[in-house]
Amino acid sequence: MPENSSYMIAAYIVVAAVLVGYAILLYRRTLKP
């Protein structure tokens, strides 16, 4: 595995998780405003 890959993978996962999490949060809030 190339050097520093684990940090990069962690950052990419965190970004996806935060953005998808917020999108889900918004969707759930529309169900019960």
Partner 1 sequence: MKLLKSGRWITLVGFALLAAVYVRALAFTPVERTQGMAQKIFYLHLPAAIWTEGAMILVGVASIFFLFLKDQRIDRFAEATAEVGLVFGMLVLTTGPIWGKPIWGTWWTWDARLTLTLLLFLMYVGYLLLRGAVTDPGLRARYAAVLGICGMCLVPFVHLSVYMFRTLHPQPIVIKPSAPSLPGEMLATLGFSFLVFTVLGVGFVIQRYGLSLLRDEAEPHA
Min dist CB 7 to partner 1, Å, is: 5
Place of tokens 């595995």: 1
Place of tokens 């996962």: 13
Q: For residues 4-33, which are near partner 1 according to CB under 8 A?
A: 4-5, 7-8, 10-12, 14-16, 18-20, 22-23, 26-27, 29-30, 33
Tokens of 29: 């809030």
Residues that bind partner 1 (CB under 8 A): 2-5, 7-8, 10-12, 14-16, 18-20, 22-23, 26-27, 29-30, 33
